């Protein structure tokens, strides 16, 4: 600018640079008036968009201040911030703007979205009754996860299975829902035999084609003896641990559900001395190397001859106490040489092969081993009991 009478404006079109000082002159330059109008409209539209975003923000904050329930808060979040939410629609419409407009409106929209998301988070914390200080710190050491405990029955069963497998015995299993034949007839307890009176049996209320009830909850693991002989033949060594059922009046010494373990050995030349050697090994494993075994005659329908196995009381060392009723002995086993009829039912010739069988209550053995005075504790589900093992 050289003097006060002239003004030079270099950035305007040539006709505008000729305007007289002190006068406002509007020149209709070709194309310029049209672009100016478009810019004015565009600025007006951007202003409206900014106002809409601010209005929506105020609406959301007003609604959040009234929320008292988590369900209502979730609905609001979906309405405004969901995939088809109102604020989401505005943000998606920014793609139609120019780069300069995107930068201006986008920055405002993102700031408002961040503010609204923070307000939603605060509302969630307030409704749930938590404070911001209760957020999880992933750098803190984790809480100790409590481990379960094996039942004492399982511990003793595993111990005995390890022992018998080391002696060359197989560990077998059998059905708990058993046929009358395998549970009774096959082990030399035919229909109407007096020995059936010794068993309080749960019969299943379903008749066979002959109109008879022939399904039972097995009363002993001896039902697997004939099944094993039919499948594996002779020679044979096996033990069968498992659950048994009897209709018992429950008290500290009796339970309707209990565990047994059955042992069977079939080969040529098997005698009582073989059986006694195996049972002594079992007794010493359970109650210590100083344990002694004595056997007395007793009737069992599936063996002949039968024997009752007793071990020296581990509590008083055979001197007599309340546990052994001052006898110094504890009755543990039922055993004997396998009856010829049972061998025949298993498909084995009793003139060539002989064998011995034994069985004892796994539940009773566990009671004696750990000094458990109430059989009902095994099935009671009391964690204070299980946590001791």
List Cα–Cα distances, 283 to 273, 274, 290, 292, in angstroms: 15, 15, 9, 8
Question: pLDDT at position 21, please?
Answer: 46
User: If the chain, 389 residues long, is cut into consecutive pieces of 10 residues, what is the mean pLDDT of each piece?
Assistant: 43 43 43 49 64 79 79 79 75 71 73 80 73 64 81 92 94 93 90 68 83 86 94 94 88 87 94 92 87 90 90 82 82 92 94 94 87 86 84
Look at the chain and count its residues.
389
List Cα–Cα distances, 354 to 28, 180, 205, 288, in angstroms: 127, 25, 38, 30
pTM beyond 0.95, yes or no: no
Question: pLDDT at position 23, please?
Answer: 42
Q: How far apart are CA 129 and CA 120, in angstroms?
A: 14
Contact 344, 323 (CB under 8 A): no
């Amino acid at each position: 600018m050289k003097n006060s009478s002239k003004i030079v404006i270099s950035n305007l079109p040539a006709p505008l640079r000729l305007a007289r000082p002190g006068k406002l002159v509007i020149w209709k330059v070709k194309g310029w008036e049209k672009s100016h109008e478009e810019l004015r409209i565009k600025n007006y539209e951007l202003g409206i968009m900014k106002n809409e975003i601010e209005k929506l923000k105020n609406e959301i904050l007003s609604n959040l201040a009234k929320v008292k329930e988590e369900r209502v808060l979730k609905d609001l979040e979906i309405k405004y911030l969901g995939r088809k939410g109102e604020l989401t629609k505005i943000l998606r419409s920014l793609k139609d703007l120019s780069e300069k407009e995107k930068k201006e409106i986008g920055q405002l929209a993102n700031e408002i979205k961040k503010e609204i998301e923070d307000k939603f988070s605060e509302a969630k914390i307030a409704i749930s009754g938590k404070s911001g200080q209760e957020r999880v710190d992933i750098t803190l050491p984790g809480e100790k996860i409590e481990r379960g405990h094996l039942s004492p029955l399982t511990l003793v069963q595993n111990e005995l299975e390890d022992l018998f497998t080391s002696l060359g015995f197989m560990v077998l299993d059998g059905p708990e829902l058993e046929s009358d034949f395998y549970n009774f007839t096959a082990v030399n307890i035919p229909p109407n035999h007096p020995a059936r009176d010794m068993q309080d049996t749960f019969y299943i209320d379903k008749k066979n084609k002959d109109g008879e009830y022939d399904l039972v909850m097995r009363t002993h693991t001896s039902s697997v003896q004939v099944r094993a002989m039919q499948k594996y033949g002779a020679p044979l060594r096996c033990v069968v641990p498992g659950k048994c059922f009897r209709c018992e009046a429950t008290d500290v010494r009796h339970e309707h559900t209990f565990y047994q373990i059955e042992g069977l050995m079939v080969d040529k030349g098997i005698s009582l001395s073989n059986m006694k050697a195996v049972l002594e090994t079992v007794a010493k494993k359970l109650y210590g190397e100083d344990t002694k075994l004595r056997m007395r005659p007793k009737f069992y329908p599936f063996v002949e001859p039968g024997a009752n196995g007793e071990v020296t009381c581990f509590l008083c060392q055979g001197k007599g106490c309340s546990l052994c009723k001052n006898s110094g002995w504890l009755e543990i086993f039922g055993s004997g040489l396998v009856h010829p009829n049972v061998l025949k039912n298993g498909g084995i010739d009793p003139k060539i092969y002989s064998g011995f069988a034994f069985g004892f209550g796994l539940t009773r053995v566990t009671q004696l081993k750990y000094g458990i005075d109430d059989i009902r504790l095994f099935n009671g589900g009391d964690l204070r009991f299980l946590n001791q093992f």
